[in-house]
């Protein structure tokens, strides 16, 4: 009887702790400083094509002359989940820039579930032409072409095809530093 009471107390304490942790505010994620990278011509990076979640084909070779933000992410990556709506808002505020979200998830259903959980405003913005969400099958682009293994990682590519900035981790995508980078982008 005594053992059963102790077990019930531990179960109750565990349930209370779980509820408290679930309702606690998430830890503040600090922005990763943005540093300019060596300007690498996009022509030096292999062309690639990918089919987005809606079945539309995207080819980098057909999008030369456009500003591109290439975001490597996954639904299981906590910083990616935090940064995703920020980048969607960035796309909404900057329709001249295409944002390609390349997911490292292993199945399409995880991406679909993640997108369905987004706010109504984010879901509406995801319909914009300048937002592309795709699953990177077997890491053919993320790992094989760009050799990216840390998520999230974002490449800001100018309209001249140069890699202007590389950002590893979440950052303040609606802050003044990003706005300045995008204004100065060719």
Burial of 165 (0-12, 13-18, 19+ CB in 10 A): buried
Asked, for residue 98, whether it belongs to a domain, the answer is: yes
Could you report the per-residue pLDDT of 152-162, keeping only the tens digit for each? 999 998 887 78
Asked, for residue 67, whether it belongs to a domain, the answer is: yes
pTM: 0.76
- Token pair recorded at residue 156: 């800001």
Domain containing residue 145: 34-184
CATH number at residue 74: 3.40.30.10
Which of 72, 67, 52, 82 lies closest to 174 in space, CA to CA?
82
Could you report the per-residue pLDDT of 135-174, keeping only the tens digit for each? 998 888 888 888 888 899 999 988 877 888 889 988 889 8
Asked, for residue 22, whether it belongs to a domain, the answer is: no
The number of folded domains in the chain is 1
Tell me the average pLDDT of the chain: 83
Cα separation, 30 vs 121, whole angstroms: 25
Q: Please, which residues have CB within 8 angstroms of residue 17's CB and are 6 or more apart in sequence?
A: none
């Amino acid at each position: 009887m005594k053992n059963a009471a102790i077990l019930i107390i531990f179960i109750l304490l565990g349930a209370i702790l779980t509820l408290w942790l679930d309702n606690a505010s998430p830890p503040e994620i600090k922005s990763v400083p943005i540093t300019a990278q060596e300007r690498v011509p996009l022509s030096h990076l292999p062309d690639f094509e990918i089919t987005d979640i809606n079945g539309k084909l995207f080819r980098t070779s057909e999008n030369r002359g456009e500003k591109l933000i290439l975001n490597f992410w996954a639904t299981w990556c906590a910083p990616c989940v935090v940064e995703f709506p920020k980048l969607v808002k960035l796309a909404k505020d900057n329709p001249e820039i295409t944002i390609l979200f390349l997911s490292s998830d292993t199945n399409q259903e995880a991406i679909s579930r993640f997108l369905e959980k987004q706010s109504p405003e984010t879901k509406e913005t995801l319909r914009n032409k300048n937002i592309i969400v795709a699953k990177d099958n077997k890491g053919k682009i993320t790992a094989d072409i760009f050799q990216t293994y840390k998520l999230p990682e974002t490449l800001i590519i100018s309209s001249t095809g140069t890699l202007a900035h590389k950002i590893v981790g979440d950052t303040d995508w609606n802050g003044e530093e990003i706005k300045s980078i995008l204004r100065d982008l060719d």
